[in-house]
Structure 1
């Protein structure tokens, strides 16, 4: 999900730059999570680390008897829990005024 969010932001920025006639050369110091030490994300002020919700699955004995979807849907309560988790997108960590 985080990669998709980042890709969407980069695409939107490039489209905007193209439509407004700006140079499409990417910034020299583009921030990528993979280039940042993990220790930075251990503690972000104001954010509580929440565990990921386990996706429910159809029991194996039922899977082998049918073609029903094996991956089930999380409950509304679990979806709300997931929406409160930090996606570690780096935006708030590095630019709190933009949040």
Structure 2
């Protein structure tokens, strides 16, 4: 696991609504830097949390939680596609047997 990696990735909708996996503080910063929506106080606080984690001043999981809250507030938080797919395949596998 690289430095600054999240314990669990966060999936967000970007562009035309495609899901994108954010798995590190650096990727979260990139989304925040390229954000075309309103730069509200939650955007500023999330950016500060991520930059603080990049500088080693706060822990990575705090930045992850801040980014997840930002994504939820902005309506771009996507369901975890990988977990959903695994759960569906497990249900199918068990119902067939």
Which bracket does the TM-score occupy, shorter chain normalised?
under 0.3
- Is the strand fraction higher in 1 or 2? 2
Q: TM-score, normalised by structure 1?
A: 0.27
- Is the helix fraction higher in 1 or 2? 2
Q: TM-score, normalised by structure 2?
A: 0.28
